[in-house]
């Protein structure tokens, strides 16, 4: 009799947990939006999942970015999927890239922009009263906006240098029509996070950084 009570209590607890997860898990979600790609690299690579149901875990190796790389630019496109049943915002925070030598690779040397916000299949929510807003200055392809500055160094409309703490890069209305208990192939939106690095006479060394993309409840805009 006592065992039965314990068992039922456990079952009720698990049912509650499952219900809670079912109710809230889909509210805000970020995942891989497809296979990332890299061009212009010498000895570089990018790894990530091609499946939109997998977590966003991407590793970029820009490879050689001294003048030994004679390509004009190294460009990496990372598709990212978003799902939500409420208005959302996406923020990015960065760690690393704190080279003391001003001639070494700095955060401002890595172009960073967002492009190609688009539906991820038929269950993505189309809203007519609000748009998905890419915050300034990130709405660009840094491979296109790259220019040589007055000091001779390449600069971009937006770069990792524009990140300060947790920086909101985009926001918008509800993304998903349904309220599925798990990620689906077609229930949200995808966009491309584009990273660029122009080979230059940087001071020698290895540089690294880690970006954390976070989706959270955003400004309460109507759909």
Q: Output DSSP code: residue 89.
A: E
- Report yes or no: 58 and 192 within 8 Å, Cβ to Cβ: no
| 129 versus 172: smaller Cβ distance to other proteins | 172
| 66 versus 116: smaller Cβ distance to other proteins | 66
Least distance from other proteins to the Cβ atom of residue 128, Å: 26
Distance CA 56, CA 190 (A): 12
Least distance from other proteins to the Cβ atom of residue 74, Å: 8
| 17 versus 50: smaller Cβ distance to other proteins | 17
Is the sign of the CA dihedral 184, 177, 35, 79 positive or negative?
Answer: negative
Least distance from other proteins to the Cβ atom of residue 141, Å: 17
* Residue 99 φ/ψ, nearest 5 degrees: -65, 130
Q: Which of 171, 81, 189, 167 is nearest to 131 (CA)?
A: 171
What is the 3-state secondary structure of 134-150?
Answer: ECCCCCCCHHHHCEECC
| 129 versus 204: smaller Cβ distance to other proteins | 204
**At 78, which helix (H) or strand (E)?**
strand 74-84
Distance CA 177, CA 214 (A): 21
| 3 versus 126: smaller Cβ distance to other proteins | 3
Least distance from other proteins to the Cβ atom of residue 133, Å: 19
Q: Beta strand pairing status for 45-47 and 110-120? A: unpaired
Least distance from other proteins to the Cβ atom of residue 220, Å: 18
Least distance from other proteins to the Cβ atom of residue 98, Å: 14
| 74 versus 133: smaller Cβ distance to other proteins | 74
| 21 versus 136: smaller Cβ distance to other proteins | 21
Least distance from other proteins to the Cβ atom of residue 219, Å: 17
- Report yes or no: 37 and 46 within 8 Å, Cβ to Cβ: yes
Coil, helix or strand at residue 188 = strand
């Amino acid at each position: 009799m006592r065992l039965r009570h314990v068992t039922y209590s456990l079952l009720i607890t698990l049912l509650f947990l499952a219900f809670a997860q079912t109710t809230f898990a889909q509210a805000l979600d970020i995942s891989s939006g497809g296979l990332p790609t890299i061009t212009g690299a010498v000895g570089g690579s990018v790894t990530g999942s091609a499946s939109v149901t997998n977590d966003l875990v991407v590793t970029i190796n820009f490879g050689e970015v001294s003048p030994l790389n004679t390509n004009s630019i190294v460009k990496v496109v990372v598709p990212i999927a978003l799902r939500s049943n409420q208005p959302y915002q996406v923020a990015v925070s960065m760690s690393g890239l704190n080279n003391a030598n001003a001639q070494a690779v700095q955060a401002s040397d890595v172009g960073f922009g967002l492009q190609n916000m688009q539906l991820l299949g038929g269950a993505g929510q189309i809203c007519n009263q609000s748009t998905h807003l890419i915050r300034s200055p990130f709405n660009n392809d840094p491979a296109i906006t790259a220019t040589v500055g007055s000091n001779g160094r390449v600069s971009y409309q937006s770069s990792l240098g524009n990140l300060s703490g947790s920086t909101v890069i985009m926001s918008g209305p509800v993304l998903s029509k349904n309220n599925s208990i798990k990620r689906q192939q077609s229930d949200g939106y995808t966009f491309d996070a584009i990273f660029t690095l122009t080979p230059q006479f940087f001071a020698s060394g290895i540089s690294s950084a880690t970006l954390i993309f976070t989706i959270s409840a955003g400004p309460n805009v109507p759909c």
